[in-house]
A and B are shown apart, each in its own frame.
Chain A
Amino acid sequence: MATTVEKIAPVVLARGPESLWRQALGAFLKQRSAIIGVCMLVFLILIALLAPLIAPYNPVQVLIGVEDVQKRQPPCIHLLGCAVDKPQHIMGTDGNVRDEFSRIIYGARVSLYIGFVTVGVAILIGILLGSIAGYAGGRLDNLIMRTLDVLLAFPSLLLAIAIVSVLGPGLINSMLAIAIVSIPAYARVMRASVLSAKEEEYIQAARVTGVSPFWILFRHIMPNAISPLIVQGTLGIGTAILDTAALSFLGLGAQPPTPEWGSMLSAERNQVFTAPFLVFFPGLAIMLNVLSFNLIGDGLRDALDPRLRK
C-alpha cells in the first residue's frame, strides 16, 4: 500500500497545472464551516455504521420486566450523579419504555438512508427528464417543463402530503413523495446545462462524426452539469431529511417501531411539558444531520463556482 502511494505521489506532483477538481478541493478545504460539516457527517456515518457497538440496548426492545425502569424516565447518567444501582439511560426512556439513546443512535441509519436514497432517486429522474427536455427541445421540452412548473406551483410539503395520501403512509412512500417534489430542481439544472452545451462546437463536431446522443450526453454534457448537480444534491439531502421527518411527524412517514427521529418526536409531542428530553434529543439529532449537509453544500457551492472563488 505504502509503496503505491510513494510511486503515485511524484507523478501527481509533476503533473503541472492543477486540474479544476483539485483546485476545487483546495478551495473547499480552505473553508472552516465546510470542514466542520464534513467532520459532523463523518461522525454521523460512523455512528450509523457502528450503531450495534455504540447502542447499549436494542432500539426496539421494550424494557418492562427486563430492568427496573418506568416509562418516560428522565435521563440517568452515572457520571453525573445518578444512583449507580439504577440502570443508566443517557437520554432517558420513551413512552414504550425503550432506551431513547439507542433509538437515537439507530435513527442515524434511517436518517442517512432517507437522505441519500431520496436525493439519489430525484437526481436520476431529474437528469433523465432534464436531458430529454434540453436535448429534444420543442414540444417535448415544453410539455416536460410546464408539467414540472405545475409541481412547483404547490408548496412542496403540501404536495408531498397529498402524494403520500394517494400512495398510503409509510417510510418508502414518503421518501418517494419527497423525491417527486424535488425532481423539478434537478431537471432544471440539467436542462440548463444541456441547453448551454448543445450549441457548442465540440458537441456539433461530435454529432457530425456520428456519436450517439446518449454518449454525447454522458461523455460531453454531464461533466459540465455535474458540479451544479452536486451542490444542489448536497443541499437537497438536508431538505429531504427535514421534509421526511416532517411527514413522519404528521404520522405519514416511518411507522412504529422504526427508530426514525421525526416519528419518535411525534410520538412524544404531547408529553413535551412532562418529558421534554424525548422531544429535545430527536429534534437536535435531525438538526445536526441537516446542518452537516447544509455546511458541506455551501462549501461545495463556493468551491465549485469559480466566480465565487476568492
Chain B
Amino acid sequence: MLRYIARRVLASIPVLIGVLAVTFALARLIPGNPCTAMLAEKANAETCARFNHDKGFDRPIPIQFGIYARDVLRGDLGNSIRFQRPVMQIVTERLPLTIELGVFAVLIALLIGVPAGIISAVRRNSAIDVGTMVGANIGVSMPVFWLGLMLAYVFALLLKNTPFWLPPSGRLTSGIASVPFYQVWGWNPTKDTASFHVLEFFSNLYVFNSIITFNWQVLGDALKHLILPSLALSTIPMAIIARMTRSSMLEVLGRDYVRTARAKGLAENRVILAHAFRNALLPVVTIIGLQLGTVFGGAVLTETIFGLAGVGRMLFEAISGRDYPIVQGFTLVIAVGYVLTNLLVDLSYSLFDPRIRLQ
C-alpha cells in the first residue's frame, strides 16, 4: 500500500514541474512589458534596466526559472502589481470562497446525481429513467453563465417577497459580518506571520468558521448566498455523474454475483447498495476527479455572475489588468490544487477496489 502511494506521488512530480514551467512561461508570454506595467509613468530606459536587474529579468532564462522555482517552494509568489501586496496573502483571502463554492457544487452534484443514476439504472426505461437522462443531456448542454443568470432572475426577482427568495450576489447580507474564530476565541496572532495567514485562510471559509463559532445567523446567511452559485456550478458535474452512475450500475447489475446475492434472498436494497453500487463506484469516483476541472473553470463564470471575489474572478481581472504575479501565482495554485485532488482521487481507488493495491 505504501509503495503504491509513493509511486503515485512520485508520478505526479513531473507534471507539477511541467505546471511550474507553464506558469513561468505564461507570465513571460503575455504581451506587454512587466517594467512598464509595474513602474507605469516612471518607466524609462534607466529605471527599467535597474528594475530588470533587481528582479533578475536580465539573467539567463534557466536561472530565472531556478529562482522562480526556489521562491515558489518557499511559498513566495511575488507581489501583486495592482494591490502592492504579496500574492500569497491574496490567495489566502480569495481561495476559501472558491473552495466553499466548489465543495458545495460537488456535494449538490453527488447528492442528486448519484441517487438519480442508481434509480435510473434500477428502473431502466421507466419514466424516471427517461426523465433523468433527458435532464442530464440538457444539463451538460447548458451554459453555466446562462443558468446562473436565469436562476438569479427567478429566485431573486420573480420569487421576491416569498420564502423562496435567494440573494443574487455577494457572500453575506450587508450588516452581517463573519467574525474570525480566532477573535471569538480571544487569540491574538501576530499579523503577517505564516500562522496568521493559515488562521485567516480558515476563518475565510465562512461556513466552517460560523459552525465552529456556533454563529447560526452567519451560517444561515452564508448558505443562502451559496445556493444559487453552487447550483449553477453543479449542473454539468451532476449530469455527468448521473450518466456515469447509471451506465456503471447497469453493467454491474448484470453480473453473476448480483444474481447470486438475489438468489440467496438478500433484500433488494442491500443487493443494489452493498453489492452492486459498491462495485459501480470506481468509474464514478474517476469522473468526480475529472469534473473538478470543470468546477474550477466554471468558478470564473459563476463568480463573475454572482459578484463573488474568488480565485476565478481574481485571475480573470488580473489577466485583463496585466497583473503578472497574480496571473502566475493563481494559475499555479489552481493547477497544483487540480493535480493534487486528482492524485487523492487516484489514491482513493484503492479504498474502493483492493485489487489496485496489489497490482
Chain A residues, CB < 8 A from B258: none
User: Is B141 in contact with A153, judged by CB distance below 8 angstroms?
Assistant: no
User: Is A150 in contact with B18, judged by CB distance below 8 angstroms?
Assistant: yes
Q: Which residue of A lies closest to B17 (CB)?
A: A150
User: Is A290 in contact with B327, judged by CB distance below 8 angstroms?
Assistant: no
User: Is A166 in contact with B30, judged by CB distance below 8 angstroms?
Assistant: yes
Q: Which residue of B lies closest to A239 (CB)?
A: B140
Contact of A153 (CB < 8 Å), options: B19, B133, B150, B300: B19
Chain A residues, CB < 8 A from B304: 250
User: Is A146 in contact with B319, judged by CB distance below 8 angstroms?
Assistant: no
Is A156 among interface residues, defined by CB-CB distance under 8 A? Answer: yes
Q: Which residue of B lies closest to A288 (CB)?
A: B141
Main secondary structure of the interface of A (DSSP, over half): helix
In the complex, per-residue mask of B142-161: 1 if CB is within 8 Å of any chain A CB, else 0: 11111101101100110000
Q: Which residue of B lies closest to A293 (CB)?
A: B141
Cα–Cα, bound, A156→B297 (Å): 7
User: Is B18 in contact with A279, judged by CB distance below 8 angstroms?
Assistant: no
Is B339 among interface residues, defined by CB-CB distance under 8 A? Answer: yes
In the complex, per-residue mask of A242-263: 1 if CB is within 8 Å of any chain B CB, else 0: 1001100111000000000010
Query: How close is A39's CB to chain B, nearest CB, in angstroms?
Result: 15
Chain B residues, CB < 8 A from A150: 15, 18-19, 21-22
Chain B residues, CB < 8 A from A166: 26, 29-31
Query: How close is A292's CB to chain B, nearest CB, in angstroms?
Result: 9
User: Is B297 in contact with A291, judged by CB distance below 8 angstroms?
Assistant: no
User: Is B145 in contact with A249, judged by CB distance below 8 angstroms?
Assistant: yes
Is A58 among interface residues, defined by CB-CB distance under 8 A? Answer: no
Chain B residues, CB < 8 A from A283: 142-143, 145-147, 149-150
Query: How close is B328's CB to chain A, nearest CB, in angstroms?
Result: 10
Query: How close is A113's CB to chain B, nearest CB, in angstroms?
Result: 18
Cα–Cα, bound, A55→B315 (Å): 39
Q: Which residue of A lies closest to B336 (CB)?
A: A153
Is A70 among interface residues, defined by CB-CB distance under 8 A? Answer: no
Is B338 among interface residues, defined by CB-CB distance under 8 A? Answer: yes
Contact of B143 (CB < 8 Å), options: A146, A154, A162, A287: A287
Q: Chain A contact residues (Cβ within 8 angstroms of B): what range?
A: 35 or more
Is B138 among interface residues, defined by CB-CB distance under 8 A? Answer: yes
User: Is A162 in contact with B297, judged by CB distance below 8 angstroms?
Assistant: no
In the complex, per-residue mask of B229-271: 1 if CB is within 8 Å of any chain A CB, else 0: 0000000000000000000000000000000000000000000
Stretch of A16-24, A82-90, A265-273 that contacts chain B: A265-273
A33-B137, A165-B30 known; A279 and B149 CB under 8 Å? yes
Chain A residues, CB < 8 A from B22: 150, 154
User: Is A279 in contact with B153, judged by CB distance below 8 angstroms?
Assistant: yes
Cα–Cα, bound, A273→B151 (Å): 11
Residues of B within 8 A of A (CB): 14-15, 18-19, 21-22, 26, 29-31, 133, 137-138, 140-147, 149-150, 152-153, 156-157, 292-298, 300-301, 304-305, 312, 315-316, 319-320, 327, 331, 334-335, 338-339
- Would you mind naming 17 contact pairs between A and B with Cβ atoms under 8 Å apart? A146-B14, A149-B15, A154-B22, A155-B335, A156-B297, A158-B297, A161-B319, A162-B331, A166-B29, A245-B143, A265-B149, A276-B153, A279-B150, A279-B153, A283-B146, A284-B146, A291-B141
